[in-house]
Homo-oligomer: A and B are copies of this chain.
Amino acid sequence: MLGRCIGTQRVRQIKRSIRHGKITLLCLFMTVVVLRGTIGAGKFGTPEQDFNDLRDHLYAARKHGDPHRVLTESNQSNNNKNDEASNANDANSYATFDINKILVDEGVDEKPDPNRPYSLGPKISDWNQQREKWLGANPSLGNFIKPNKPRVLLVTGSSPKPCENPVGDHYLLKSIKNKIDYCRLHGIEIFYNMALLDAEMAGFWAKLPLIRKLLLSHPEVEFLWWMDSDAMFTDMAFEVPWERYKDSNFVMHGWNEMVYDEKNWIGLNTGSFLLRNCQWSLDLLDTWSPMGPKGKIRDEAGKVLTRELKNRPVFEADDQSAMVYLLATQRDKWGDKVYLENAYYLHGYWGILVDRYEEMIENYHPGLGDHRWPLVTHFVGCKPCGKFGDYSVERCLKQMDRAFNFGDNQILQIYGFTHKSLSSRRVRRVRNETTNPLEVKDEFGLLHPAFKAVKVSTTS
């Protein structure tokens, strides 16, 4: 037996060495491929030229085939956790029930035509006129709910697949309840998307084809409000100052200096923004989209963005970085209609807000929308639907519960209740039942909010 043991060990050692050798060879090969694939520097001229050259370069890569197919495929497999496209043989089997039993293999997506650059749709150049004509013919479906109050459609969504993390869907559910509450109080309609309209624009880019489709289908909508599924309303009483944006078409939270001067990749945030329904916006979407198509284009664009923007980590092109780059390099063309808002938290980074909720309750009140009582708390990086986030799961989920309750308390107080604490799902009564329910004090004006639609205006 002793003799056989020594022999077995030796065989194992040999097998291990072979595996290590294979891995080493593969790494060497990939290093060579990456070095060959680096875009040469020094080809770029003016910022706008930069952008156009980049776009042409990416289209050329798409058209002439892919010498880096190995790299692309390995990048794709790395990127799957960012990719919301549903692969034919997904298996999210975390229940005692094997959910594979009900998945249907639909085959693979159609391959994009390499001879055509990516396009969100056929070019429309007269949208303002088309829209104006339609609004004139349909006066009962006005684009303003009342003077100074545009008709707004809030758009959000999530993957049609169950979350990889079992609690992820629970937080998506709480998040949409939160949005339903805010929107009900503010006379805003909701579109919750769970369909991937364009397989090439999966992941964070999926919002672009969706937004274009909704703008063109709903001329009565004046502003489309995109909001990420990991963003929650924490000020139920704050009404967006629509008048402030009467000369703007695109409103994001951000800072001019960080975008135009620093080209900082977090100089603005595309997790919560307002986009006016007009020709300008269609053109912007067309200009925004080229970095999106997944695969080589998105990967290469990611490298450019990491190089060109301040502090950007290495990963495939995302819509937010692409917007920073677009604005920074084409300010003259777009800047005058873009409002980078920082007077209130159209998007509020959760990290600097969630520990202060008790202090806010102590010192302030709903309706402020800013650092004192943020309109939106946005859990960037938490990714509760996936397996991995950028922060600890415990901190993220605990704080998401607190943010939800912070907002929910403002709804519950309308009805005389509140959560027992910001960490508790349970509620307690704070106002006795009465035989005169119509005389209760509507402390924050949320019971019959003034922001709601009361009359549809027939004029634009």
Contacts and interface: CB of A to CB of B under 8 A. Distances in A.
Nearest to A220: B448
Given A184-B189, A184-B191, A394-B101, A435 B123 contact: yes
A121 B433 contact: yes
B169 A425 contact: no
Given A97-B394, A220-B448, 11 more contacts: A94-B166, A102-B397, A102-B398, A122-B433, A131-B438, A158-B173, A169-B170, A169-B172, A195-B427, A219-B438, A454-B456
A106 interface: yes
A167 B177 contact: no
Interface of A: 86, 94-95, 97, 99, 101-102, 104, 106, 121-124, 130-131, 133-134, 138, 140-141, 158, 160-163, 165-167, 169-170, 172-174, 176-177, 180-181, 184, 189-192, 194-197, 213-214, 216-217, 219-220, 393-394, 397-398, 401, 408, 412, 414-417, 420-421, 423-427, 433-438, 447-448, 453-456
Contact of A412 (B195, B447, B454): B195
Contacts of A393: 97
A209 to B, nearest CB: 10
A167 B95 contact: yes
Nearest to A185: B189
Tell which of A167, A176, A194, A437 has the most Cβ of chain B within 10 Å.
A437
Given A194-B177, A417-B195, A166 B86 contact: no
9 contacts: A130-B438, A158-B173, A160-B426, A167-B169, A169-B169, A176-B192, A177-B194, A180-B190, A219-B438
A134 B440 CA distance: 13
Contacts of A455: 140, 455-456
Q: Which 6 A-B pairs have the closest CB atoms?
A: A169-B169, A160-B425, A166-B166, A121-B433, A216-B437, A140-B454
Contact of A162 (B104, B106, B167): B167
Contacts of A160: 425-426
A317 B252 CA distance: 53
A39 to B, nearest CB: 32
B174 A163 contact: no
A180 B177 contact: no
Nearest to A87: B426
A42 to B, nearest CB: 38
The number of times this chain is found in the oligomer is 2
Tell which of A190, A196, A408, A438 has the most Cβ of chain B within 10 Å.
A438
Nearest to A160: B425
B217 A447 contact: yes
B162 A170 contact: yes
B217 A414 contact: yes
Contacts of A420: 106
Contact of A173 (B176, B401, B408): B176
B102 A423 contact: yes
Contacts of A122: 433-435
A397 B97 contact: yes
Given A122-B435, A420-B106, A455-B140, A426 B196 contact: yes
Contacts of A134: 438
A150 to B, nearest CB: 17
A189 B453 CA distance: 12
Given A192-B180, A427-B196, A435-B124, A106 B421 contact: yes
A121 B177 CA distance: 27
Given A99-B397, A397-B99, A397-B102, A86 B426 contact: yes
B190 A174 contact: no
Contacts of A190: 180, 184
Nearest to A219: B438
A124 B435 CA distance: 5
A177 B217 CA distance: 19
Contacts of A423: 102, 104
